[in-house]
Amino acid sequence: MCGFIGIVDEQGVAEQLSTGLQALQHRGQDSCGIFTYDGAHFPGHRGLGLVRDVFDRSVVGRLKGIAGIGHVRYPTAGKGVLADTQPFFERRPGVIMAHNGNVTNYEELERGLAGRSIHLVSRCDVEPILCIFADEVMARRRVNHTADDVAAALRDTVRMVKGAYSVVFVMQVDGEPTLVAFRDPNGIRPLVMGRRGDAWCVTSESVALDALGYELAGELEAGEVGFFRLGQEPLRRMLDQREHTPCVFEAIYFSRPDSVERGETVYERRLALGRRLAREFADRDLRADRVIPVPDTSRPAAIAFAEELGLPCREGFIKNRYSGRTFIMGSQAGRESALRLKLNLIRSEFEGQRVVVIDDSIVRGSTIRRLLDLVWSQGPKEVHFAIHAPPVLHPCFYGIDMSTEAELAAPRYTRDAAKVGGLSLADQRAMEERWAEELGVDSLTFLSVDGLSEVFPGRRCAACFDGVYPLPIPEEHRLAIIKDRTAC
């Protein structure tokens, strides 16, 4: 999962891009980059680490231009090295590009490009998108590219590139510096747009718009491309639209609670998840004295859970604000070390109490074990864990860092893990009992798939929970993705 932002503004964009990336820092801590365009040149800078460390005032001051893009990354393809850091630049026709998501046929694209004597210099999967697009648009016209040229080249690019992705780039189109953004045909990864006077901004989350004073102007649809220019309405064209299936894990974990997705805040979604989880917890005849969220993602769900059951919601975990998000750390050892630094407990909130600890998900299972060590050391009477998402039973091939079945914890506790459509409620409750017994907790309750569907009605990508992949992944592509991730 990554975050990007693109801006076109006659007042200059570099400082805005740096600020916007800081608002998106939760989406990637591995590396970051900014490139701009002044009508003739594409100055840029990339580095490993946080935005505030890579982009000081002197660096930002060198990035002149009225259009540009920025990116924060954590790797789901390639490694966390500088060569894989976005954005990427292609000299012919002169284009800078970044993305969020995952290309599932990277190896196939790499071979096809090599057959045309186009060789990749990284393992980052935005590079083949960039190279294919550049080759296609140059085949149509060598100079003075038009919006028609770009749209036609993108249609061919989208036809070749499989996966879940939102892409932003800048180039000269119709004689003007133009910000261009497009989504994959299923719209799995988010992309919103905002306006401020004559300026336009596109980004992964609306919080970047808020930080910069842009007014949210909606989203690009699945399979749609938008051309953004100073003082003009966007030119929007459809490339290849299929059924819109946005990722639910974005709202469950990745996105900031103040982000807006399709007219509703992530905060409201998490409140709804908490209310439904509370009803399922009560249906099991479980009792508790207080509700304690694991900060920060689960806090809205915990508040609603407590309100639904008439229980107090208390802060039992105190978070070190200068530590990172453990899920997006690059290694298991890094995640465990970060967790030890990340949380401390208030003993009085646990001692002698029946506590329900609310968390957003369990992926690998290591975090919950460490949390339990901390919780039991505080002397609680009973410990119940409640998760405001279903169990993660299937790998994600669309940009979330859980691409191999071997790293997932939940399938170890059920014989029905491969079942498409998710576990039945009876099978899920049986799995929870086995898992709770091994963990040594009084209960473990996941949200059911039916509960998830209540909060996210209609079509959506919840493949990690129910095994329903909106974009089929051939076995060859699965094996290549798994090989890439296990080599990192």
Question: How far apart are alpha carbons 356 and 439 in whole angstroms?
Answer: 15
Matching residue, tokens 């079509």: 459
Catalytic residue among 2, 124, 131, 461: 2
Matching residue, tokens 């004295």: 289
Please say if 464 is a catalytic residue.
Answer: no
β-sheet bridge partners, residue 125: none
What string of DSSP letters covers 339-355? HHHHEEE-GGGTTT-EE
Cα distances (Å, whole numbers) of residue 419 to 137, 187, 463: 43, 25, 11
Nearest to residue 305, comparing CAs of 258, 359, 259?
359
DSSP class of 138? H
> What are the tokens at 449?
């798939």
Under DSSP, is residue 36 helix (H, G, I), strand (E, B) or coil? strand
Question: How far apart are alpha carbons 225 and 264 in whole angstroms?
Answer: 23
Matching residue, tokens 């805040």: 265
Nearest to residue 72, comparing CAs of 1, 16, 127?
1
Is the distance from CB of 185 to CB of 222 less than 8 angstroms? yes
Sheet holding 67-73, edge to edge: 44-48, 31-37, 67-73, 2-8, 199-203, 192-196, 215-219
Residue 277 CB-half CA count within 13 A: 35
β-sheet bridge partners, residue 219: 192
Please give the angle made by the CA atoms of 340, 341 and 344, to the nearest 5 degrees: 80
Question: How far apart are alpha carbons 436 and 80 in whole angstroms?
Answer: 35
Please give the angle made by the CA atoms of 411, 416 and 418, to the nearest 5 degrees: 70
Please identify every residue annotated as catalytic: 2
